[in-house]
């Protein structure tokens, strides 16, 4: 048993080029409006007047690339009425068996990361399955292989932890305690909590 | 969450059906004669609700698979108890109409169906409570679902029972009137704390509150109709009955039913339209 698989995101290195998002879209042949991996910009801050017509800028912006986090306590799996959404015991990959899915979208209402994507053409839900077909061939997931900045990595979560450290909570992401996401992020300096 | 019309109608019809069944059982403890004309409607409403619910599914043909995860999914439980409610209703209906079975057997089958219906309602509320949408994950969902069943069940019972038995209805009208008023009052009273807690919550909750306030005309419309139908019209129906103006009684009751259905429809529409995900910008 390889243990729970997860992703590592070297967020401070991400340049927002969207290559992972496009590689994923291509691999899974997704229609417009459905993304299994997304790159989002989170921005904030402003200008504060410091007197004498001087201003201090504390604007910030950073990118975050996220897919399904193959959570260790996944509400999507718990709530799915058909058992279509399931967690693979050997490596913790969460995937949808579309033969069983009835398109009720309860998983969409359950995931705090917006990962399950409803596909109106077939009336079923699809989502990141960690490219389990590629993994079986000994290859990397499409997003990891595509990233030109080596931001994304994957592997057993405990090994990633040893290699990178990282956190599963940065500014802009939901509370990790409810679902226990299998993700480690080395945060951008403005994304780290407590900054 | 957009316009979930299939779910708006499914939840309302199912709640009305269960409410009607339970009110009918409770008001006919002594003699079961009054039940017959009412029971048919329990079945019609539930059958309609189940057909409508298929409209929400992307793959309706797979609907039977929805009961495969009773262990952890409230959605599975809801479908299971709804279907069981319908089957038990059929049994009860058959016993009441076509057999010489004793009163006790009929009463037990009726209450069993009602109990199953209540479990379906509890599961239905829990579906929403176990999502990540601030509009839905509060106790308000439980309160609104159960009071809707009470209000619609009681008023429909009053209409049906009144239509079918012309004499000695004062007691029935009084009790159904009181049940309706209790339901409407609970809904009204719970709205301000619900709005306040949303406004004080995280971003998505505030967005829900903002949407609700933006839809203030619909919100006020639904509450005003509920007060008019549930409190004013039921009172007028009772008064008309006391003054022997039986014809007017019927008209006030029909009016109350129409207004309450509209009121619950409007507020249920808002319930779905204001479901805002916490995953702002999809993340
Ligand atoms: S990220 Fe969402 S879809 Fe993926 S396992 Fe967690 S809850 Fe389920
Ligand atoms: S849409 Fe499909 S995968 Fe999602 S909860 Fe419903 S049946 Fe399960």
Q: Looking at beta carbons, which residues of chain A come within 8 Å of B66? A: 81-82, 102, 104
pLDDT above 60: residue A38: yes
Please indicate, yes or no, if residue B144 is contained in any of the structural domains: no
Nearest chain B CA: its distance from A149 CA (Å) = 22
pLDDT of residue B39: 94
Nearest to A123 among B59, B65, B68 (CB): B59
Q: Are residues B219 and B100 in the same domain?
A: no
- The arithmetic mean of pLDDT across residues B248-258, rounded, is 90
Cβ(A44)–Cβ(B280) below 8 Å: no
Please indicate, yes or no, if residue B259 is contained in any of the structural domains: yes
pLDDT of residue B249: 86
Rounded Cα distance between A91 and A88, Å, is: 6
- The arithmetic mean of pLDDT across residues A5-25, rounded, is 97
Domain that holds residue B239: 168-282
Q: Looking at beta carbons, which residues of chain B come within 8 Å of A119? A: 58
Q: Number of folded domains in chain B?
A: 2
Its ipTM equals 0.91
Q: Are residues B121 and B217 in the same domain?
A: no
pTM, entire model = 0.93
Nearest CA in chain A to B78: A81
Q: Are residues B119 and B172 in the same domain?
A: no
Cβ(B260)–Cβ(B229) below 8 Å: yes
- The arithmetic mean of pLDDT across residues B223-230, rounded, is 92
Interface residue A162 vs chain B (CB under 8 A): no
Nearest chain A CA: its distance from B204 CA (Å) = 11
Confidence at B28, pLDDT banded by 50, 70, 90: confident
Please indicate, yes or no, if residue B58 is contained in any of the structural domains: yes
Q: Are residues B118 and B3 in the same domain?
A: yes
Number of Cβ within a 10 Å radius of residue B43: 17
What integer best gives the mean pLDDT of chain A? 94
- The arithmetic mean of pLDDT across residues B191-203, rounded, is 90
Please indicate, yes or no, if residue B161 is contained in any of the structural domains: no
| Phi, psi values for residue B16, rounded to 5° | -65, -45
Q: Are residues B195 and B113 in the same domain?
A: no
Nearest to B69 among A81, A105, A118 (CB): A81
Give the pair of three-digit tokens for residue A91: 């490596």
Q: Which has more pLDDT, B241 or B45?
A: B45
pLDDT of residue B4: 87
pLDDT above 70: residue A2: no
Tell me if A123 and B74 make a contact (CB, 8 A cut-off). Answer: no
Q: Are residues B175 and B124 in the same domain?
A: no
pLDDT of residue B242: 78
Angle at which helix B36-53 crosses helix B74-98, to 10 degrees, equals 150
Q: pLDDT tens-digit profile of B135-185? A: 999 999 999 999 999 999 999 999 998 888 767 788 888 899 999 999 999
Q: Please report, rounded to a whole number, the percentage of residues in chain B having pLDDT higher than 90.
A: 67
Please indicate, yes or no, if residue B163 is contained in any of the structural domains: no
- Count chain A–chain B contacts defined by CB atoms under 8 A: 108
Please indicate, yes or no, if residue B249 is contained in any of the structural domains: yes
| Phi, psi values for residue A98, rounded to 5° | -65, -15
Q: Which has more pLDDT, B54 or B280?
A: B54
Please indicate, yes or no, if residue B140 is contained in any of the structural domains: no
Cβ(A62)–Cβ(A185) below 8 Å: no
Is A75's C-beta closer than 6 angstroms to any atom of ligand 1?
yes
Q: Are residues B44 and B124 in the same domain?
A: yes
pLDDT above 90: residue B244: no
Nearest chain A CA: its distance from B221 CA (Å) = 28
pLDDT above 50: residue A161: yes
Q: pLDDT tens-digit profile of A122-150? A: 999 999 999 999 999 999 999 999 999 99
Q: Which residues of A13-40 are buried (b: 16+ CB within 10 A; e: fewer)?
A: ebeebebbbbbbbebbebeeebbbbbbb
Q: Are residues B8 and B125 in the same domain?
A: yes
- The arithmetic mean of pLDDT across residues A179-186, rounded, is 97
Q: Looking at beta carbons, which residues of chain A come within 8 Å of B73? A: 78-81, 106
Is A125's C-beta closer than 6 angstroms to any atom of ligand 2?
yes
Q: Are residues B104 and B199 in the same domain?
A: no
pLDDT above 90: residue A45: no
Q: How would CATH label the architecture of A5-186?
A: 2-Layer Sandwich (3.30)
Interface residue A87 vs chain B (CB under 8 A): no
């Amino acid at each position: 048993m390889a243990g729970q698989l997860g992703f590592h995101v070297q967020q401070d290195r991400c340049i927002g080029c969207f290559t992972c998002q496009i590689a994923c879209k291509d691999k899974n042949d997704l229609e417009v409006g459905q993304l299994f991996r997304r790159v989002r910009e989170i921005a904030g801050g402003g200008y504060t007047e410091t007197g004498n017509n001087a201003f201090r800028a504390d604007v910030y912006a950073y990118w975050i690339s996220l897919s399904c986090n193959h959570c260790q306590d996944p509400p999507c799996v718990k709530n799915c009425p058909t058992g279509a959404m399931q967690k693979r015991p050997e490596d913790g990959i969460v995937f949808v068996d579309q033969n069983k899915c009835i398109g009720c979208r309860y998983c969409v209402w359950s995931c705090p990361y917006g990962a399950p994507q409803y596909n109106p053409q077939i009336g079923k839900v699809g989502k990141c399955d960690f490219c389990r077909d590629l993994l079986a061939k000994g290859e990397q997931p499409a997003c990891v292989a595509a990233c030109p900045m080596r931001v994304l990595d994957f592997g057993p979560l405990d090994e990633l932890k040893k290699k990178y450290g990282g956190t599963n909570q940065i500014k802009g992401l939901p509370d990790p305690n409810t679902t226990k996401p299998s993700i480690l992020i080395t945060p951008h300096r403005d994304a780290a909590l407590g900054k | 969450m957009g316009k979930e019309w299939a779910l708006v109608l499914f939840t309302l019809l199912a709640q009305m059906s269960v409410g009607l069944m339970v009110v009918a059982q409770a008001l006919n403890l002594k003699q079961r004669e009054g039940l017959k004309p009412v029971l048919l409607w329990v079945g019609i409403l539930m059958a309609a609700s189940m057909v409508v619910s298929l409209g929400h599914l992307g793959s309706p043909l797979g609907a039977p698979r929805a009961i495969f995860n009773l262990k952890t999914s409230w959605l599975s439980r809801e479908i299971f108890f709804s279907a069981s409610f319908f089957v038990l209703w059929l049994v009860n209906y058959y016993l009441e109409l076509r057999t010489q079975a004793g009163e006790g057997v009929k009463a037990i089958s009726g209450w069993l169906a009602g109990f199953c219906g209540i479990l379906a309602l509890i599961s239905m509320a829990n579906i929403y409570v176990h999502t990540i949408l601030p509009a839905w994950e509060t106790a308000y969902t439980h309160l609104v679902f159960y009071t809707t069943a009470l209000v619609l069940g009681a008023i429909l019972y009053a209409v049906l029972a009144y239509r079918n038995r012309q004499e000695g209805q004062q007691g029935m009208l009084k009790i159904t009137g009181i049940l309706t008023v209790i339901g409407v009052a609970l809904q009204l009273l719970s709205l301000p704390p619900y709005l306040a807690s949303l406004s004080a919550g995280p971003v998505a909750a505030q967005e829900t509150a903002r949407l609700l306030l933006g839809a203030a005309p619909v919100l006020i419309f639904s509450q005003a109709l509920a007060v008019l139908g549930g409190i004013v019209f039921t009172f007028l129906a009772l008064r008309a009955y006391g003054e022997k103006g039986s014809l007017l009684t019927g008209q006030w009751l029909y009016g109350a039913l129409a207004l309450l259905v509209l009121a619950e429809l409007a507020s249920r529409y808002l319930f779905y339209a204001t479901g805002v995900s916490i995953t702002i910008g999809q993340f």
